[in-house]
Structure 1
Amino acid sequence: MPAFKKAIRSIVNWSLSPKRFEFMAIGVLTTLIGLMILVIPTPDLTSALSNTLGFILDDLTMSAGQEGFLYTTVLLCLLPLIFRLPLPRLFEVYAKFGMLLVLSFVLKTGMKHITEVPRPYTLQLSQSELVDSPETFYAQDAIQRELIIESAQDIFSPWRLKHWEGETNYSMPSGHTIFVAICVMFWGGFLLAQQQKTLMALLVFWGVGVGFSRLWLGMHWPLDVMVSLVCAASLNLLVPNVTAPNWISRITFKKSRA
């Protein structure tokens, strides 16, 4: 047991210094999304969405949803390969990113069950007299919820209804925003460390766009989005830095000598 503890301590540590770029990245994202929430008015969910705006918002939200998060993850995980990081560093980067992703999913799922905050569109459904109240909506089973949303086709934009039908669970926190925040925080920090400020700015722009799409489609309240950002930053405090075990370094050394 002492040997096991020693081995664990040799590959993990909770020093904040290596995380400074990650906190800078999440700080920039949080500031910009906060400003966006203050400046942009609350969307009218009964308003029409042009096909252009609907297409953009649809693509943004899907890039962080079930349809596209895997592609986004793979694309971001190519960055260390593009910058030709050595094998030990690859292990460290992927191990920590993997821990952040898994823990963010667990945290998001648990918090939704605890908070049980209705999504914004459920309030709009009740105001349109399609359901008595948001609580009544959530008292239905999944199939009945989708039927209620389908009955609103003449009132709301199909760009919005598409996402309402696909996500009838609770609102807080925003899983899309947590995923985006983890990606921007971790990979934005990685890019800052590599002095790739332009790529980092593009990543932040994507993150702000996803946050905007969640609000404009009626999927989340502003507080949901901000709580998600805080959750991501908190996870970064808790998740340790990873140091590659010695056997990986030895593999790299042998390859360099071959």
Structure 2
Amino acid sequence: MMICVLLLTPKPDLFEPLSTNVNALLNFLSNSAGNPFFLITTFVLCLIPVIKHLPRKKLASLYVQFALLLVLSFALKTGLKSATEVPRPYSYALAEVGLVDNAASFYQLEPALKDELIERIASKVSSARIEQWHGETNYAFPSGHTIFVAICILFWGGFLLRNNHYITAGILLTWGVGVGFSRIWLGMHWPTDLMASTVLASLLIFCVPNINFENNHQVSNTVN
């Protein structure tokens, strides 16, 4: 479902003004999966099994596996960004108004100069976009936000579905789609970045073994 929504998301005009409410909503969604606010999201999600009153060993199993997924996803994201060097959509907007020669040249600049160029275009771009552009001047692919969101949906969404919490799982999925939409609409990512990142997260979920402290600390490849 998430990939279908991303495929149907139209290419945004980054110079199109956004209302105050839309600015706030897009910023909230994007920030909820970014640094440092992803920690709050992680904390909230980790409360789910606590509310279910799971045994301590089961809680430990879930938390260790989720932490392992996050660490591996961060390493994967960092490595791929350096290897692929895909410019973000907003760097093309900077080139369009003549602030840089081309999108790729933006990434050769010093951080302070990057921020200065973004600030020069602030009068033509919505505040939510400018805030996000200032916050992330590295390359686009893959999307760390999307990898985080996809892992949350697959890991905690799967847990919720196995425990028949369909409404909560639906809310989690809706949040994830909203984050993906916000990343495209704010000019931070291409739809292909998000789709590939979702696939990468799925592969991580599949490859990381299930950790079970309840059965003599055994580690299996079967997902509970």
TM-score (norm 2): 0.94
1:208 pairs with 2:198: no
2:145 paired residue number = 176
Check whether the contact 2:29–2:182 (CA below 8 A) recurs between aligned residues: yes
1:185 pairs with 2:154: yes
The structural deviation recorded for 1:91 is 1.5
Match of 2:133 among 164, 184, 205: 164
Structure with the higher helix share, 1 or 2 = 1
In 2, Cα distance between equivalents of 1:119 and 1:222: 11
In 1, Cα distance between equivalents of 2:114 and 2:175: 31
1:77 pairs with 2:46: yes
2:16 counterpart SS class: coil
In 1, Cα distance between equivalents of 2:215 and 2:198: 35
1:10 paired residue number = none
Check whether the contact 2:94–2:100 (CA below 8 A) recurs between aligned residues: yes
2:220 paired residue number = none
2:123 paired residue number = 154
Q: Aligned AA for 2:115?
A: E
Deviating runs (4+, > 4 A) in structure 1?
A: 245-248
Q: Which stretches in structure 2 are left out of the alignment for 5+ residues?
A: 218-224
Alignment of 1:105-124 (within 5 A): 105-124=74-93
Check whether the contact 2:7–2:191 (CA below 8 A) recurs between aligned residues: no
Match of 1:125 among 94, 98, 117: 94
1:40 pairs with 2:5: no
In 1, Cα distance between equivalents of 2:44 and 2:15: 35
In 1, Cα distance between equivalents of 2:182 and 2:191: 11
Q: Which stretches in structure 1 are left out of the alignment for 5+ residues?
A: 1-31, 249-258
Match of 2:57 among 46, 64, 88: 88
The structural deviation recorded for 1:158 is 1.5
Residue deviations 1:129-188 (CA, integer Å, cap 9, x gap)? 111111211110111111110111122112101110110000000011111011111000
Residue deviations 1:72-103 (CA, integer Å, cap 9, x gap)? 00010011110011112112111111110110
1:190 counterpart SS class: helix
1:4 paired residue number = none
Check whether the contact 2:180–2:194 (CA below 8 A) recurs between aligned residues: yes
The structural deviation recorded for 1:247 is 7.0
Structure label with greater radius of gyration: 1
In 2, Cα distance between equivalents of 1:80 and 1:128: 50
Aligned residues: 217
TM-score (norm 1): 0.82
The structural deviation recorded for 1:47 is 0.3
In 2, Cα distance between equivalents of 1:40 and 1:142: 31
In 2, Cα distance between equivalents of 1:246 and 1:204: 31
2:24 paired residue number = 55
1:44 counterpart SS class: coil
Match of 1:194 among 163, 181, 191: 163
Task: Calculate the aligned-residue CA RMSD, in Å.
Answer: 1.3
Q: Aligned AA for 1:188?
A: G
After TM superposition, the structure 1 stretch with the greater mean CA deviation from structure 2, 38-47 or 199-208, is: 38-47
1:78 counterpart SS class: helix
Q: Which has the higher contact order (CA 8 A, sep 6+)?
A: 1
**Identity over aligned residues, as a percent?**
48
